[in-house]
Amino acid sequence: MTKFDKAKAEIVDEKMLSNGWTRLSNFQIDYTDSEGETHRLQREVYHRTPAATILLYDPKRDTVVLVRQFRLPVFLHGEPAWVIEAPAGLLDGDAPEVAIRREAEEEAGFRVRDVRFLFKAHSSPGSSMELLHFFAATIDTTDRVSDGGGLAHEHEDIEVLEVPLNRAVAMIEHGEIVDLKTIALLQWATLNRESLR
């Protein structure tokens, strides 16, 4: 047992700051640190719901299927706002594998056969409740069932890209891929390429 095992937190108050597309709350917590001192802290938490993301890999052509879409926070940073990403989406009450099969088809146009769960991770644990479930699937051209592009009634405007895996990894270094979940999946693919064949 270390001194950090003694640290604990107690929620004192929660105030909702926004409840639109998702919820933003302000919390007051009493945090007892590893030295046994208690401090009143204030934190904002973005109540993002669980989501899933998938690496679509074609071993015959050594390519990955990625999507490009507008992202407002990147735009607000003054950077190119059409972000290249792995297909992803909210679970919307479904099991992670069900949700990611749906998203792969809606966004990229691929109906995946075998889905492999890789890991789950918190995307930004300092401020967001979002928990991401990471998957991979091998595909080929016969798995394409539509052009993808997202759902019109949700005003999704998604471009589907097929990129050689080595090129996609190089795009990280050149700043063309800046999405963290996509970077994690591409790095995983680089380390585990043989298991995807």
- Residue numbers belonging to the annotated binding site for Mg(2+): 88, 103, 107, 156
Relative to beta strand 23-32, strand 8-19 is antiparallel
Instruction: Give exposure, 3-39, as e/b (b: 16+ Cβ within 10 Å).
Output: eeeeeeeeeeeeeeeeeeeeebbeeebeeeeeeeeee
Q: Which residues contact 73 (CB under 8 A, 6 or more apart)?
A: none
CA separation for the pair 55, 135 (Å, rounded): 6
Binding-site residues from annotation: 88, 103, 107, 156
Using DSSP bridges, classify how beta strands 131-138 and 51-58 pair: parallel, antiparallel or unpaired.
parallel
Reduced to 3 states (helix: H, G, I; strand: E, B; else coil), residue 118 is strand
